[in-house]
């Protein structure tokens, strides 16, 4: 399913269910609510295969959608308009969606929640850790791979890079990512790396991440002569291929990316260690399938995504880097 078709289906669904109450969660009828932080990447890379996989087992499953457009308060407004209290479970797609689901007081507090594309579920205090039995009602697959695993591949690809430029945003997932980098300052393995930070304000509109790239031009240029390398932030701006391209064009410095497309695009990121989002969606769908069959959330420990390492040899050659 193309991104355009998915958006059409999603918006039509949102319109239709404004006035139609969700049916009860019974043996005859199953319904779930998917809450989306926003449309677009990386969220649709999770939502589309998740829906496809769940529907294999539960063909008659009713799936209602709410798009928050990166505004947490939109969830409560939607829940007031439509009665979703009899749904079987909730899927929170993205950090802002997770926060909105966690903090609302309308849906039953015992309702199982599966999350996907969430950077730091531990920091959001919905789980205590990965690969351990969840004590509460939240489980799922996070977005970020282990930060040390990412940096090891970065170092392997750029062994001489010591000063690293980080353009981060005020998006919650980006702030979590920056926090992880800051916490490594005294780690013996990475203490020789010097991360230099510049911040870009979050823009919440649908085309906000693209506008943020434009806004990032000045801080990118400010770091041009101070760094050996830029590392993409873990947010909706950083995942866009255009971000890596903008950095390369403005600075002629290499970029260690966040996703697959920013490496595959011409003169984008040289390399990336990124999460296999489709695989994460399949894992999360299996969790949901089990819950819809009556199993407890505690049967499904939260997981990190499978990591994929990728190098664009053509871009690496342009920067005289051995790929």
249 found inside a domain = yes
Tokens (6 digits) for 1: 């399913």
Tell me: do 139 and 155 sit in the same domain.
no
Count the domains in the chain: 2
- Integer CA distances (angstroms), 294 to 297, 299, 318, in order: 9, 11, 55
86 found inside a domain = yes
Tell me: do 136 and 177 sit in the same domain.
no
Task: Compute the Cα dihedral for 73, 76, 81, 83 and give only its sign.
Answer: positive
Alpha-carbon distance 36 to 101, whole Å?
10
Tell me the residue range of the domain where 97 lies: 3-144+276-307
Enter the pTM of the model. 0.81
Tell me: do 177 and 313 sit in the same domain.
yes
Q: Do 277 and 258 contact (CB within 8 A), yes or no? A: no
Tell me: do 104 and 189 sit in the same domain.
no
Tell me: do 95 and 206 sit in the same domain.
no
Instruction: Please enumerate in sequence order all residues whose Cβ is within 8 A of that of 289, keeping only pairs 6 or more positions apart, or say none.
Output: 53, 54, 57, 58
CATH of the domain at 180: 3.40.50.2300
Tokens (6 digits) for 60: 């008659």
Alpha-carbon distance 293 to 288, whole Å?
9
Cα angle, residue 147 at apex, residues 228 and 165 outer, rounded to 5°: 20
SS3 14: helix
> Among candidates 34, 17, 22, 31, which has minimal Cα distance to 91?
34
Q: What is the pLDDT along the chain (323 residues), one digit of tens a residue?
A: 444 444 444 444 443 333 334 445 666 678 999 999 998 888 999 999 999 999 999 999 999 999 999 999 999 999 999 988 789 999 999 999 999 999 999 999 999 999 999 999 998 999 999 999 999 999 999 998 999 999 999 999 999 999 999 999 998 889 999 999 999 988 999 999 999 999 999 988 778 899 999 999 999 999 999 999 999 998 989 999 999 999 999 999 999 999 999 999 999 999 999 999 999 999 999 999 999 999 999 999 999 999 999 999 999 999 999 76
Cα angle, residue 142 at apex, residues 141 and 145 outer, rounded to 5°: 120
């Amino acid at each position: 399913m193309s991104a355009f078709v998915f958006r059409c289906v999603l918006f039509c669904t949102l319109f239709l269910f404004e006035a139609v109450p969700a049916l009860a969660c019974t043996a005859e009828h199953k319904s779930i609510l998917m809450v989306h932080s926003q449309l677009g990447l990386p969220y649709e890379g999770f939502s589309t295969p998740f829906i496809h996989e769940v529907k294999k087992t539960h063909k008659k499953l009713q799936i209602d959608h709410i798009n928050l457009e990166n505004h947490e308060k939109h969830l409560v407004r939607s829940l007031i308009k439509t009665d979703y209290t009899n749904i079987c479970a909730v899927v929170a797609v993205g950090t802002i969606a997770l926060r909105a689901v966690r903090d609302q007081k309308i849906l039953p507090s015992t309702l199982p929640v599966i999350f996907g594309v969430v950077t730091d579920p531990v920091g959001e205090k919905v789980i205590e850790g990965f690969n351990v039995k969840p004590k509460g009602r939240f489980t799922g697959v996070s977005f970020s791979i282990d930060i040390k695993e990412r940096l090891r591949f970065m170092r392997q690809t750029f062994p001489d890079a010591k000063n690293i430029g980080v353009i981060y945003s005020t998006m919650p997932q980006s702030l979590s990512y920056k926090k992880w980098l800051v916490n490594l300052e005294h780690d013996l393995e990475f203490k020789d790396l010097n991360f230099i930070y510049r911040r870009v304000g979050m823009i919440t509109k649908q085309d906000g991440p693209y506008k943020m790239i434009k806004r990032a031009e000045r801080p990118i240029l400010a770091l041009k002569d101070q760094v050996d390398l830029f590392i993409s932030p873990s947010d909706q701006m950083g995942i866009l291929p255009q971000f890596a391209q903008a950095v390369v064009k403005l600075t002629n410095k290499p970029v260690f990316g966040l996703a697959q497309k920013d490496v595959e695009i011409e003169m984008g990121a040289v390399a990336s260690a990124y999460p296999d989002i489709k695989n994460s969606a399949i894992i999360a769908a299996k969790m949901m399938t089990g819950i819809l069959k009556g199993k407890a959330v505690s049967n499904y420990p939260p997981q990190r995504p499978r990591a994929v390492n990728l190098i664009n040899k053509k871009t690496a050659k342009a920067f005289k880097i051995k790929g």
